[in-house]
Amino acid sequence: MLHVWLGVAALGGAAVMIVLTVRAESVARRHIGPLAELDQDRLRMMERQRSHAEVLSALGMATRFANLVRLSILRHSESQRRFGEITNVLANASKASRMFIQSALLTVGTVLVLSHQASGGAIFASSVLAGRALAPIDQAIAQWRAFTRTKIAWGKLDAHLKAISSEASPLPLPLPKGRVEVSELTVTPPRSETPSLQGVSFTVEEGSVVGVIGPSGSGKSSLVRALVGAWSAAEGEIRFDGATLEQWDPDRLGAAIGYLPQNVELLAGSIAHNIARFDPAATPEAILEAAQAAGVHELIVNLPQGYETEVGEGGMQLSGGQRQRIGLARALFGRPSIVVLDEPNSNLDPIGDAALAKSLQDLRVRGATAFIVTHRQAIIGQTTHLLRLHKGRVGIFGPTRLVIERLQSHAQEMQMNKVAANA
């Protein structure tokens, strides 16, 4: 209303501010992802340095790993510096554009007054009105990044909620009794393209104790991780009592499975909480039953605080053998019908070995099915079946006695062939 050129100057200033905002958002979106990844890598390296301090020191790796941590920190700092420089340039450009708009309006108003196309009051009126008109745009620009982040977060949340609502809840199945069928199972580890298991098939009935043996890298740990659902099958299927793993509710199935991984890590809390799997409804009787079934009750009560002993993050307050035996009690909590143990005696002393053997006998008596990865002859003697893996495939499977006889016969043949070759 004052003059068309004053309006043009104000609109031109608004366009410049919007362009700068879009440019700043584009730069931020391009750099914030790699910066976040470098930050996560830095934190992971620092955590590894802390949690593996003893191993790094013992193997003479402390200085080398410290250099790797320092390099990770430097990469993150350099990326953060570059990102800060770019955002500062754009922020200063935005501030400069606001000052330029005010100056441009005053300049246009002055020219119009000198050319007698506007009165002197129009200069001040246009400056005030333009400031008021551009204030909402300035506020929107200041909040634009938060708005876009909120929009992205809202989209992710909405998609997640829709995915949850679209998933049909599986019909609750009765807890498995222990029959396990594996058919043409192929497993590929996460972030790998090479299968660690290929075409593995076998069937065991409830009450079986299956020893899983084989050389390193043959796929033993991959098999047990697939059995408990930690790794998904690339091909084939696993069935418990005839139902595939996908037909079970994960939490309900987890209550019927006992799992002891090769590297036992307890959660920060008391021994009782860890044995009970942090179930708030767990009864003292169930905790004691699991500890006694694992033969670890006496070890626990001999600790200063007994079952209330804090294990620390990862169970670092306990020795490796103590963590393994308490992990076994956690696996046996709730009387599971399927128990999977990956090298459960790697850190055990003779007392722990005897307790493990007794636990396997008890599992067999009550009709539970157990899978145990081991190389020790004493534990193999407690099994009913042996599954020997070789290069990710089933080398031999059957009753323990028959498998041992075949392996011994094969070893004798190899020895005889070697002697003959040497002769």
Strands 180-187 and 197-204: antiparallel
* pLDDT score of 385: 93
Q: Per the structure block, which two tokens stand in for 391?
A: 């290069």
Residue 243 to residue 181: CA distance in whole angstroms: 9
Q: Considering only residues 308 and 86, tell me which one the structure prediction assigns the higher pLDDT.
A: 308
pLDDT band at 27 (very low <50, low <70, confident <90, very high): low
- pLDDT single digits (tens) 283-319: 999 999 999 999 999 999 999 899 999 988 878 888 8
C-alpha count within 13 angstroms, C-beta hemisphere, residue 43:
6
Which region holds residue 207: left if phi is over 0, alpha if psi is between -120 and 50, else beta?
left
Give the architecture (CATH level 2) of 4-165. Up-down Bundle (1.20)
- The answer to whether 344 and 372 are in contact (CB under 8 A) is yes
Crossing angle between the packed helical segments 121-142 and 62-114, to the nearest 10 degrees: 160
Question: 132: how many CB neighbours lie within 10 A of its CB?
Answer: 9
Rounded average pLDDT over 167-192: 84
Question: What string of DSSP letters covers 287-324?
Answer: HHHHHHHTT-HHHHHTSTTGGG-B--TBTTTS-HHHHH
- pLDDT single digits (tens) 234-267: 999 999 998 988 888 888 888 889 999 888 888 8
pLDDT band at 397 (very low <50, low <70, confident <90, very high): very high
Q: Per the structure block, which two tokens stand in for 416?
A: 């005889």
Question: 300: how many CB neighbours lie within 10 A of its CB?
Answer: 23
pLDDT of 144 > 90? The answer is: no
Helices vs. strands in the chain: H and E counts, helices first:
14, 10
pLDDT of 166 > 60? The answer is: no
Strands 369-373 and 338-342: parallel
Rounded average pLDDT over 93-103: 72
Residue 25 to residue 218: CA distance in whole angstroms: 50
* pLDDT score of 183: 94
Element (H, E) at 183: strand 180-187
* pLDDT score of 33: 66
Give the architecture (CATH level 2) of 180-420. 3-Layer(aba) Sandwich (3.40)
- The answer to whether 253 and 284 are in contact (CB under 8 A) is no
pLDDT of 9 > 90? The answer is: no
- Three-state secondary structure call for residue 243: strand
- Three-state secondary structure call for residue 90: helix
* pLDDT score of 91: 67
* pLDDT score of 1: 66
What are the backbone dihedrals phi and psi of residue 396, each rounded to the nearest 5 degrees, phi first?
-160, 145
Residue ranges per structural domain of the chain: 4-165, 180-420
207: Cα separation from own chain's centroid: 33
Rounded to two decimals, the pTM is 0.65
Give residue 404's identity as a one-letter amino acid code: I
- The answer to whether 318 and 310 are in contact (CB under 8 A) is no
- The answer to whether 334 and 254 are in contact (CB under 8 A) is no
pLDDT band at 187 (very low <50, low <70, confident <90, very high): very high
